Structure 1
Amino acid sequence: MNQMTRRWCVAIVTALAMTLGFVAPASASASELNSSSADAGAGEVSVKYASAFEVVNATGQTMTYTGAKAVSSFGNSGLWFDDNGPAPVGTSFGPASKEDFALTWWFGKSNSGDFFYQFGDDPDHVVVVTALVQDFLQKLTCTSVPADLVCTLQGFTAVITTKDPTTHTITGADRQRQADLLNALCSSGTPLATCSFVPKGELVRSSGEPRIIGQNQHFNCKAEGIDTVKLAWGFEESSSNSVGGSLTIGGTLFKIVEVAVELTYSHSWSWTKTYSEAHDTQIYPGKWAWMEQYPPRIAVTGDFTATIGNDTFYLTDVTFDSPDGASQGLIVSKSRDLTPDDYAKFCL
């Protein structure tokens, strides 16, 4: 059954339901529309058809949903949501995110509302979009748009962008803002944004903190006789970054950095590496012996450029520190005399 046939069937069945006394629910009240409930409709009959709408934030600002109100064109009008109603009032949508909701179709009624979205911190900086479902008409309109923004309709989707090209420089002094933008525009893989990374300076190699991991220690509790043992170690090293733990390093961000490092330095970047090795060691009587491994690290610093709509962000001096996959690092064998406490703990 095609969509038009389905709608006619819905219309016929709904008309019959209305004839038998079933009617659409009362339109949501102002308090219901502006509450935190995702479904402002109530008492819906089982026969219905829903139209979905989207509002996309393609700006560099935060978009906040501040409420909705019914638009009345004649007596049989109101605002009814499907199960997928708008987000709770006060919900914020960062760059490259979207709000979606659905309006229910009712036979012989106009279901329409204005939806209000504040951009930035100014409560008067608001975009108003109007959604309408009436008989066989579904429509989304940009009703009110501030002068510095543009609302572009793509079917039942309203895409909000900044009107004029605007640049923003986010330095290392605001790491949280850098993390938020990298998460929204570069890590998520959103088609709304483009990202690039340009390394600068040289790759910096260093050694991490020494580790004693796994079965790589031995206590020779004997009074005489040398123990010859195989000390094994193994662990995984992961990456860190200058932005902090709030940065989500996903596959898309991986690839952006990997390609840039490969092109600039002809170096294959590794985000994790598992180190493992075993060595034969002689341990003299009354000694505790162990092995320490200093994991090799390599760091790259560079600048990100992230663009969404007419907003371009320059995120400067972002550093990634990762395992150096080309080396096992420095391995040191160490030992010391067993103490009375050692004998009591490990030798009895």
Structure 2
Amino acid sequence: MRVRKPEWLKVRAPGGPNYLRLKKLMREQGLHSVCEEAHCPNIGECWESGTATFMILGDVCTRACKYCAVAHGLPTELDRDEPRRVASAIAAMGLEHVVITSVNRDELADGGAAIYADLIRRIHAELPGCSVEVLIPDFKGNEDALRTVVEAKPEILGHNLETVERVHPWVRPGGRYWRSISFLGAVKKMDAGMLTKSGIILGMGELEEEIYQAMRDLREAAVDILTLGQYLRPSEHHTPVDRWVTPDEFRRWKEIGERELGFRHIESGALVRSSYHAKEQAREVQAGGPGRITEVMEADIPAPSEVLGPDGPVRVLGELPGPKLVQIGGL
């Protein structure tokens, strides 16, 4: 049975002239956008304003997160010419801000970091006025791979935590909660002036106390920008929606995060996704220095819901663990 969405989640179908122009350019260049692959509800608004998020390293992910619409399985052959083609397309579009993300490529030694770095440098060279934001995977905690991307000098480096610690191994079996947080903290050790960013999806079974704790943990890694959005189930094969978060709750998390926890900026709303209003963030938000967490933890360690089989990690399905109540202080 389809769950009826609340009124605040309704958006107009895309179809403006700039949206159609960008869609045509994407197809002509053989490029992928996470806007399309992940069924982003803001695709019409963002593309119409001339902002797009490009997905590199193919369109098949080596992980199978239970909330994600991107296809998973055996990865496609690595396209070494992709940075040139994507940079050329971005120059042709005349974008002011571009977001680059990718599928996970766990079979690659660097997870695709060299491709990211090549593309960042090409965009800066071909379109000097265009700021670059990258939303990277965890590269299995490989600090050398992270350094490769940091040294290419994107204006914003993002990596999404996605959910709270208890829910994390259930919906994101290929990742590790503390690996993701510490990965962001390590960025500040490499470049204290680089803006860092993360995102949490609400509505997958988390408690308010756990959201607060996840936000505190991200601040321990000195994350500057946070996005909070509503989970929308891509299909019946994905984890169900646990609840619809109200606009008032989203506003409250923004206030708590900025005033109490010290985030430089929070985008918080039902339809907010990682790249929402990204151009404004790149121009208006100033980076803070390093936090208490600056070393990568849990690098290249299988997640709790995986076991090592003869051919590598194998997912073990089970029940979502029950919540633990904690003292949160500021709510």
TM-score (norm 2): 0.20
Specify which structure has the higher proportion of helix.
2
Specify which structure has the higher proportion of strand.
1
Bigger Rg, which one: 1
TM-score (norm 1): 0.19
